[in-house]
Amino acid sequence: MPLDWPLYFRDNLTYGDREHPAAICCLWMKQSRLADTLSPATYSVLGNLYSKDGINYLLRNVLARPTVRAIIVCGPDLTQSGAALLHLVNDGIGEQHRVRGDPSASSGQAEYTQIEIEIPREAIDDFRANVQMIDLRGINDPAKVQEKLKELGETVPRGLFAEPRVFPRHTPAADEFPAEETGFVVRGARIVEVWVHLLAAVLAFGRRDLTAYTVQQRELLDVVATIHDEEATDFDLPAWLPLTREQLDAYYPQLLTATRPENIAYTYGERLFDFNGRDQIAAMVQDLRATRYSRRAVAALWDPARDPGSADPPCLNLLQARVRDGKLHLTAYFRSHDIFRAWLTNAFGLRKLQAEIAERVGDSMLGDLAIISQSAHVYADSWDAARQITVEHARDYLKNPRLVRDPRGSFNIRVEGFQIRVDHYSPEGNLLATFNGANARALQREIAFFTSRVDHAIYLGMELAKAELALKNGWSYTQDQELSVEVWAAGSGSSTGQLGL
């Protein structure tokens, strides 16, 4: 029997008589609500169960010291972890070690209760056969819990119900992660940078699903990719890219001219420059010349007379150009977008088209290119190649968040007197606002709204925590530098060391 029991979350549990056969799982209730009232002699251990994954640790702890013969499940079941625990005991596990009867699994949701494969089925069955569950979910009254404990103390046997067992630790190897249902955003300076991040996002967060072509894909919905700093005359095409300059040059006429090769039903360029005899790009240019702030510079590529029911309708459906502050921005909407095979050529071609429109409108610099992909997907036969690119090159595009422009501005953090001061600057360097506070938590709540990048927000959280430590301990704080701590050693005066924070 392990001497250092419990094996997991030892410091997060409340202990009574460790030999007692009854334990308490109080779900989302504060442990202190029960621990401050219950007699420690009437239970062995008291703990929370915030997530369904926590059932694995509960199993491991009980099976490592199998003296627990009854568990009271009480308190609010906010994540249905209590329901899943009861389903485990009542219904067992099915294929792939998933709990039977879990309502989230049976309703077709992606969530399910996974019991780690390292915990053998026979051990789980031992737990189910020997550990009684008392369902007091929703009950927060310590008196009712104490009443049930008294009853269990008189009826539940003591001692081991099996030999102690310790199982190998589980190493998670998930290749699909939860994410937003819609509205995934990727921003970057250059097209290749954004593409690599898009591939990584689809492979990590994309939902596995079948397509109309009966092949597997990973898919994100309503992805917005924004490129803000690449000239159309100087495209970055690294040697490892699955696209050559010759292939790109061959693609441009399909988008930038009305020419349609033989045996091709249509091209994007034909529908943009000669859609039933109308040059939509010329109309967009004319509209923006007449009214710089117009919101009517739109080109539609979907033909309602031909495309519904067509075997090969256009994936690019709409373009809109806007001029703001002397910059021409272009937005493109794709109903369906193969991120691995098509997105790159589409993006380079659209950037060329954007530059052409800006030149024809006049007095307009190249602004952002925003590509909206309603279905952003990578087909199964491209997964390995896409994954290799992200593994080998994604890190090349990870930058110090301090050095990456956040379009919502930057922040200067310093300690002044008895407060932390945060100055918010625009990207142009103009002071916008000042925030003052004595702790990091209050300040992060104020400034979080003014950040757009996750890495920037994480960076600011780290710096605010350092500033708070310095303020509370009287240390010197300088943004982007390690905390310098003055340590007094007996007989040798003071010395200065770095905390590495």
Q: Which of 155, 172, 192 is the last residue of a domain?
A: 155
Residues 237 and 348 in one domain: yes
Q: What is the mean pLDDT of residues 372-395?
A: 95
What Å distances lie between residue 54 and 71, 101, 184, 363, CA to CA? 15, 18, 29, 61
Q: Can you give the pLDDT at residue 295?
A: 97
Amino acid at 8: Y
**Cβ–Cβ contacts within 10 Å for residue 43, how many?**
29
Task: Report if residue 466 sits inside a domain.
Answer: yes
Domain count, the chain: 3
Task: Report if residue 172 sits inside a domain.
Answer: no
Q: Can you give the pLDDT at residue 278?
A: 97
16-25, 148-157, 478-487: least confident range: 478-487
Q: Can you give the pLDDT at residue 103?
A: 63
Residues 381 and 432 in one domain: no
Task: Report if residue 219 sits inside a domain.
Answer: yes
The string of pLDDT tens digits covering residues 428-444 is: 999 999 999 999 999 99
What pTM was computed for the model? 0.78
Please report the DSSP string for 176-204 in residue order: -----SS-EEEEESSHHHHHHHHHHHHHH
Give the separation between CA 320 and CA 354, rounded to whole angstroms.
10
What Å distances lie between residue 258 and 271, 299, 312, 335, CA to CA? 7, 14, 18, 22
Count of residues making up the chain: 501
Residues 215 and 125 in one domain: no
- 74 as an active site residue: the answer is no
H helix or E strand, kind and range, residue 188: strand 184-188
Q: Can you give the pLDDT at residue 102?
A: 75
Give the separation between CA 192 and CA 344, rounded to whole angstroms.
8
Residues 241 and 359 in one domain: yes
Give the separation between CA 438 and CA 241, rounded to whole angstroms.
50
Structure tokens at 273: 């420059």
Rounded to 10 degrees, the C-alpha dihedral 145/151/153/155 comes to: -140
Burial class of residue 233 in the structure, from the number of CB atoms within 10 Å of its CB (0-12 exposed, 13-18 middle, 19+ buried): exposed
Task: Report if residue 265 sits inside a domain.
Answer: yes
Residues 408 and 305 in one domain: no
Task: Report if residue 18 sits inside a domain.
Answer: yes
Structure tokens at 60: 């491991």
23 - beta bridge partners? 71
The string of pLDDT tens digits covering residues 307-358 is: 999 988 999 999 999 999 999 999 999 999 999 999 999 999 999 999 999 9
Residues 94 and 223 in one domain: no
Residue with tokens 């009980």: 62
- Cα–chain center distance at 348: 28
The string of pLDDT tens digits covering residues 3-12 is: 688 999 999 9
Residues 285 and 333 in one domain: yes
Confidence of residue 141 (pLDDT cuts 50, 70, 90): very high
For residue 454, give the 3-state DSSP assignment: helix
Residue 231 has pLDDT above 70, yes or no: yes
Q: What is the mean pLDDT of the chain?
A: 92
Residue 383 has pLDDT above 60, yes or no: yes
Residues 374 and 255 in one domain: yes
Task: Report if residue 408 sits inside a domain.
Answer: yes
Cβ proximity of 198 and 334 under 8 Å: no
Burial class of residue 191 in the structure, from the number of CB atoms within 10 Å of its CB (0-12 exposed, 13-18 middle, 19+ buried): buried
Task: Report if residue 222 sits inside a domain.
Answer: yes
102-106, 153-157, 226-230, 353-357: least confident range: 102-106
Report the CATH number that the domain containing residue 265 is assigned in CATH: 3.30.572.10
Residues 273 and 356 in one domain: yes
Cβ proximity of 184 and 222 under 8 Å: yes
134-148, 228-242, 268-282: least confident range: 228-242
Task: Report if residue 163 sits inside a domain.
Answer: no
Q: For residue 278, what are the domain limits?
A: 184-397
Residues 375 and 412 in one domain: no
Confidence of residue 107 (pLDDT cuts 50, 70, 90): very low
Q: Which of 25, 26, 74, 315 is catalytic?
A: 315
Q: Can you give the pLDDT at residue 105?
A: 46
User: What's the N-to-C CA distance of the chain in angstroms?
Assistant: 40
Q: Can you give the pLDDT at residue 489?
A: 46
Structure tokens at 213: 């072509």
Residues 189 and 307 in one domain: yes
Q: What is the mean pLDDT of residues 188-206?
A: 96
Residue 14 has pLDDT above 80, yes or no: yes
Residue 494 has pLDDT above 60, yes or no: no
Confidence of residue 109 (pLDDT cuts 50, 70, 90): very low
Q: Can you give the pLDDT at residue 110?
A: 44
Q: Can you give the pLDDT at residue 345?
A: 98
Q: Which of 137, 155, 173 is the last residue of a domain?
A: 155
Q: Which of 340, 374, 397 is the last residue of a domain?
A: 397
Cβ proximity of 498 and 482 under 8 Å: yes
Give the separation between CA 25 and CA 72, rounded to whole angstroms.
6
Residues 337 and 209 in one domain: yes
Give the separation between CA 249 and CA 270, rounded to whole angstroms.
17
Q: What is the mean pLDDT of residues 16-34?
A: 96
Burial class of residue 231 in the structure, from the number of CB atoms within 10 Å of its CB (0-12 exposed, 13-18 middle, 19+ buried): exposed
Q: Can you give the pLDDT at residue 388?
A: 96
Q: What is the mean pLDDT of residues 485-500?
A: 52
User: Parallel, antiparallel, or unpaired for β 216-227 and 207-210?
Assistant: antiparallel
The string of pLDDT tens digits covering residues 55-66 is: 999 999 999 999
Alpha helices in 225-297 (DSSP H): 245-256, 268-273, 280-290
Report the CATH number that the domain containing residue 121 is assigned in CATH: 3.40.50
